[in-house]
Amino acid sequence: MPLSLLDTFRVLASFDPPRGALKGAPWDEYVDWAIAQGLAPLAAYNLEYRLGPTAAPEWARDRLLAVYQGSVNDNVMKLVNFKQVVDELQGRKLVLMGAAAFAEALYPHIGFRPVLELQLLMRRMDVDGFAGFLSNHEFRPDSVPSHSGATKVVTDGRTSISLFSDILGPQRREQALGIIERAKPMKVYGPSMFRADLEDSVLLVCLEHARQGYDVPWLSFIDLRELVTGAKWMGGVYSRPLDIPALLARAAEWRLERALYTSLSIVARLFPEAAADATAALPPLRRATRELLDRTVVGPISTPGQTSALRGLERVRRLLTGQ
pLDDT interval class at 87 (50, 70, 90): very high
Q: What is the mean pLDDT of the chain?
A: 92
Output helix, strand, coil percentages for the chain, rounded to the nearest 5.
55, 5, 40
Report the largest interatomic distance among the alpha carbons of the chain, rounded to a whole angstrom.
60
E-strand ranges in 142-209 read 152-155, 160-164, 184-185, 193-195
Q: What is the pLDDT of residue 315?
A: 65
Contact predicate 219/281, CB 8 Å: no
Q: What is the pLDDT of residue 316?
A: 66
pLDDT at 311 over 60: no
Q: In whole angstroms, how large is the CA radius of gyration of the chain?
A: 19
pLDDT interval class at 309 (50, 70, 90): low
Q: What is the pLDDT of residue 131?
A: 95
pLDDT interval class at 53 (50, 70, 90): confident
Work out the average pLDDT over 297-312: 76
The residue among 37 and 149 whose pLDDT is bigger is: 37
pLDDT interval class at 312 (50, 70, 90): low
Contact predicate 192/129, CB 8 Å: no
Q: Write the pLDDT tens digit of every residue in 162-210.
A: 999 999 988 999 999 999 999 999 999 999 999 999 999 999 999 999 9
pLDDT interval class at 54 (50, 70, 90): confident
Q: Write the pLDDT tens digit of every residue in 5-28.
A: 999 999 999 999 988 889 899 999
pLDDT at 51 over 70: yes
Q: What is the pLDDT of residue 323?
A: 60
Q: What is the pLDDT of residue 2?
A: 81
- Please report, for residues 14, 144, 181, 193, 264, the alpha-carbon distance to residue 222 in angstroms, rounded to integers and kept in the order given: 9, 28, 26, 24, 11
* Stated pTM of the model: 0.93
Q: What is the pLDDT of residue 231?
A: 96
